[in-house]
Structure 1
Amino acid sequence: MAPPFDPADLPTGVMMALSPLVHRVLAPNPSPFTYTGTQTYIVGAQAVAVIDPGPDDADHLAALTAAIAGRPVVTILCTHTHRDHSPAARPLSDLTGAPVIGCAPLTLDDDGPRADAAFDADYRPTQVLADGDEVSGPGWTLAAVATPGHTSNHLCFALLEEKALFSGDHVMGWSTSVISPPDGDMTDYMRSMQLLLGRDDVVYYPAHGEPIENPQRLVRGMMGHRKQREGQILRFLERNGDSAIPDMVAEMYKGVDPRLHGAAGRSVLAHLIDLGGRGLAEPTGDGRWQMR
C-alpha cells in the first residue's frame, strides 16, 4: 500500500523551491499515514498564498513565518479539514491577518482507525470556494477544483500560470488515498479522478510525497488499481459467499504493514458501498457482505 519512509529523508521547517512560484515547507508530523509529513505550499513571490497550513505546531508556524519573510499573505487556503491539514490556519491568520478560504467546514465523527484523519472542528473559513472560483495575487492565480471522494469537502487548487495542481490528499505522491466512510465516498472519488484525467495539468504538488510529473499517467494507474481492488472483492465474495471485511483485508493486503489494515478495511468498505449502489453487492448484517 505504501513504501517504507524515513522522516530524515526530507528536512522539516526548511523552505524548498519547486518552481518560480512554488515553495514548500514540510511539517514535523511524519507517520505511516502522512509519510514524511504534511507539505505546506507557499505560492507567489511578492504577496503570497499559503496552501494547507498543516498542524497547529509551534515549530511549523515559526518555519512558515520565516518562509513568508514579512511578505503580505493574500489568503490561506485549505484543501480539506483533516487534522494534519487545516488546524494551523487560524493561528497563521492571526499572525498575518490573511483570510482563511477554500474548502467548506465539515465536522463529523469518523469511526475509522486513523487518529490523524479526524476532522478539524475549529476550522472556520472566511469564504468557501466553489468549483471554478479563483483567488489571485501578483503573478499568480489559483482556481478551485472540486474533488470530493477522500472527503466530501476536498478541493484541489490549480495554479493557472504554471499548469500545476495542488492535489491535497486526492492524489498523493507516495500512496493511494484512503477513502473512509461515512464521509469518504468511492463513487465520488472515481468521478473526481475521471475529472482530473480531462485536465491538462503538467505537474501535481501533493500534500504528502514528491511532485508528480506526467500526472495523468498516475491518475490512470490509480484508477486501474481501484478497479483491480473492486475485482478482488467481487471474486472473494463469489468464492466465499457471506463475508466479513477483516477476512477480505487479510487476503487482499498480504505483506502490507498490519498497522495499515484498519485503513485498508475502510477502503474495502468504501468499495462495497459503491458496489452496493451499483447493485453488485449487499450487506447482510454485522459488517458482512455478499454478492447480490
Structure 2
Amino acid sequence: MRVPSVRAYRVAETIAVVKFLTDFDPEYGSSVTAAPGIRRLVCPNPGPFTFTGTGTYAITSDVGAVIIDPGPDHVGHLSAAAVMAGSRPVAAVLVTHRHADHAGGARAFADRVEAPVLAAAWSTTEQSAPHPKTAESWEDGDGIGVENVGDATHFARSDEAVVDLPADRYLSDRDILNIGGLELEVVATPGHIRDHVCFVWRRGGAVFSGDHVMGWSTSVLPPPHGHLEDYLRSLKRIGEFGDLTFFPTHGPPIPHAGDYVEELYAHRMMRTSQILDALSRGDGTIEQIVRQIYVAINPLLIPAACLSVWAHLEMLVDQNVVVVVDGLVPTLTSRYRLST
C-alpha cells in the first residue's frame, strides 16, 4: 500500500492511541522459553532507548539453532547466550540491524559458537556518512534536552551508534533461509535504520521485529540513517504478517500484531498533523514543537521526542511541505515554517 500524501496528514485529526505493552520484568542472566521453539535472554543494559535491555533469541529445531541479535559486547550476556541452543549446533547468527545494542557483540559471539553472521548489505561508507548537525550541537548546549545528551548523542552520532559489521552472508529482501533445520523469510524494513530487516518464522507463527515494531514504545528514527517515509512503508509491509506474534528485541511479544501495527501507523500520521498544526501558528524550532505536542513528557524522553520530530520534519522538507528558515538542510537547531 502506498504511503498517503503528506497533505493527507493535515486531516488526520483523530487522536491515535497506541496501546503499549510495558508489563515485562525479565530475569537477567538466564534464558526463558518465550514460545515453543523460541528462547529469549535479556541483556542487563536497560535504558531510555532499550527499555529493560536487549533481548537475544534462539530459535531451535531438532537438528540446530539460529541466534537473533546477540546484543552488545557484554561478556556475561554473550556467555549466557552461547548456551541457549543447548547441545544443538548454532547454524547462523542473524542481525536485524547494526545498532550497537543489537550487533556490538555479534562478531565475538559468532566466533565463539563458530557460526556465520548474516545481515543486510550496507557499506562502511554509508555507515559513517556525516550528518550536517551531529551530537556536537547537543554537547555545546545549543539545542534541546542538554541535560540528557548521553542517549541523544548515541543516536545523533553515526560513528557511535552503528557497528562496522561485515557479514559472512549478506541478506536481501524476500530471501528464504534454510538453516539449522528452520526456514526463515527475510523482510527488508528500513526506517529505524537503513539496514533493518525482520525475520519471519511461519512455522512458529513468529516475526522477529527488531526495533521496527516494539510493544513498549514507538521506534526512534535517528538521522542520518533513520527515515520516516521508509518506516511508514515498512510498517505497511510488515503488517502483512499481522496474524503472527511479533517478538521485538526490546520488551514483550506482541500477539496478533496487525492491529498494533496499524496503531503505530496512525500515531505517526497524528504526529505529522500535530507538527503541521504547530507550524501553522508560526515558524519554530524542534524544541518549541516538542513542548507543544508532547504533553507532560518525561524529561528523560525529550531527546527521543526531538529526534522523532526531526525525522518528521526531514520528510516534510523533502516533500516541500515545510521549509528550513535559516538554512537548506534540516538540523536539530534549525527553525522551520510551512511552505507558501
Distance 1:193 1:21, change over 3 A: same
**Residue in 2 that maps onto 1:85:** 102
Is 1:12 the equivalent of 2:34? no
Question: Offset at 1:200?
Answer: 4.7
How far, CA to CA, are the matches of 2:202 and 2:154 in structure 1?
31
Question: Offset at 1:278?
Answer: 2.6
Please give the secondary structure, in 1, of the residue aligned with 2:308. Answer: helix
Amino acid at match of 2:236: Q
Distance 1:3 1:193, change over 3 A: closer
Question: Offset at 1:2?
Answer: 11
- Whether the aligned pair in 1 keeps the contact of 2:191 and 2:226 (CA below 8 Å) is yes
Amino acid at match of 2:66: A
Cα deviation, 1:88-130, whole Å, max 9, x if unaligned, reads 1111111111000122345225736535544343312111100
Matches within 5 A, 1:27-176: 27-45=43-61, 46-105=63-122, 107-108=127-128, 111=134, 113-117=151-155, 118-176=160-218
How far, CA to CA, are the matches of 1:201 and 1:62 in structure 2?
34
Is 1:213 the equivalent of 2:255? yes
Cα deviation, 1:159-210, whole Å, max 9, x if unaligned, reads 1212311000000120000011111000100011111223354110001110
How far, CA to CA, are the matches of 2:116 and 2:304 in structure 1?
34
Please give the secondary structure, in 2, of the residue aligned with 1:289. Answer: strand
Aligned residues: 290
Please give the secondary structure, in 2, of the residue aligned with 1:40. Answer: strand
**Residue in 2 that maps onto 1:273:** 314
Distance 1:115 1:65, change over 3 A: farther
Amino acid at match of 1:291: L
Distance 1:85 1:2, change over 3 A: farther
Cα deviation, 1:229-249, whole Å, max 9, x if unaligned, reads 11110110001x221110011
Moved more, 219-228 or 199-208: 199-208
Cα deviation, 1:10-41, whole Å, max 9, x if unaligned, reads 11121111222211110111011100000000
Identity %: 37
Question: Offset at 1:65?
Answer: 1.7
How far, CA to CA, are the matches of 2:95 and 2:205 in structure 1?
19
How far, CA to CA, are the matches of 1:130 and 1:221 in structure 2?
28
Q: Which runs of 5+ in 2 are unaligned?
A: 1-17, 136-150, 327-332
Moved more, 62-71 or 161-170: 62-71
How far, CA to CA, are the matches of 2:258 and 2:19 in structure 1?
20
Please give the secondary structure, in 1, of the residue aligned with 2:35. Answer: coil
Please give the secondary structure, in 2, of the residue aligned with 1:128. Answer: strand
Question: Offset at 1:6?
Answer: 9.4
Match of 1:248 among 257, 268, 289: 289
Please give the secondary structure, in 2, of the residue aligned with 1:84. Answer: helix
TM-score by length of 1: 0.92
Q: Which runs of 5+ in 1 are unaligned?
A: none
**Residue in 2 that maps onto 1:226:** 268
Question: Offset at 1:274?
Answer: 1.4
- Whether the aligned pair in 1 keeps the contact of 2:21 and 2:252 (CA below 8 Å) is no
Distance 1:5 1:197, change over 3 A: closer
Question: Offset at 1:143?
Answer: 1.1
Is 1:291 the equivalent of 2:338? yes
